Amino acid sequence: MSSRGIRGAAAGAMPVAQARIAYSVGRLERALRRRLALVTRRFGLTVAQYTALSVLHARGALSNAELARRSFVSPQAMNELLAALARARMIVRRPDERHGRIVQMTLTPRGARTLAGCDAAVAAVEERMLAELSQAARARLRENLRRCIAALER
């Protein structure tokens, strides 16, 4: 055993192969977020803004609270994020026809074009991340992640 292995074992360090899954998920999240930040920045977006545009594209018009919940940010942070997207003419805000105090956000054509370009770049990052996994392994990963999320949200 190398002196490094002895020190690690003596200190109670866990071998890399046995690292906590939570630690590995955290490392993946940080690495992915760094890559996504580099990609989204090229389109003048933050990762949070990209997420909000993606959610609006997928779900249609949403209120600030709904969009914040689906984008993993607080309503206050979403207000600032939406103000920046509105200034950049990527979204429009309109009063909800059923609830006068609720404002609905929708993508503008400019927002949709920006999102489309950014989506292609994000897909390339995702492909790089998954390059060593077969299609079956990708499907298992997606399902296992879904199960982990569901278990923690119960």
- Beta-carbon count within 10 A of 78 CB: 23
Q: pLDDT tens digits for the chain (154 residues)?
A: 444 444 444 555 666 656 799 999 999 999 999 999 999 999 999 999 999 999 999 988 788 888 888 888 998 999 899 999 999 999 998 876 776 667 788 899 999 999 999 999 999 999 999 999 999 999 999 999 999 999 999 9
d(CA 61, CA 48) in angstroms, rounded, equals 17
Complete domains list, the chain, with CATH:
20-153 (1.10.10.10)
Question: In this structure, is the dihedral angle defined by the CA atoms of residues 124, 129, 134 and 138, taken in order, positive or negative?
Answer: negative
Structure token digits, residue 95 = 């009063």
Closest CA to 37 of 27, 22, 50, 53: 50
DSSP assignments along 115-132, one per residue: HHHHHHHHHHHHHHHHTT
Q: What angle do CA 37, 56, 83 make, to 5 degrees?
A: 70
Q: Cβ distance 61 to 104 under 8 Å?
A: yes
Give the 3-state secondary structure of residue 45.
coil
Q: What is the pTM of this model?
A: 0.79
Question: At a CB cut-off of 8 Å and minimum separation 6, what does 96 contact?
Answer: 63, 102, 103, 104
Q: What is the pLDDT of residue 26?
A: 93
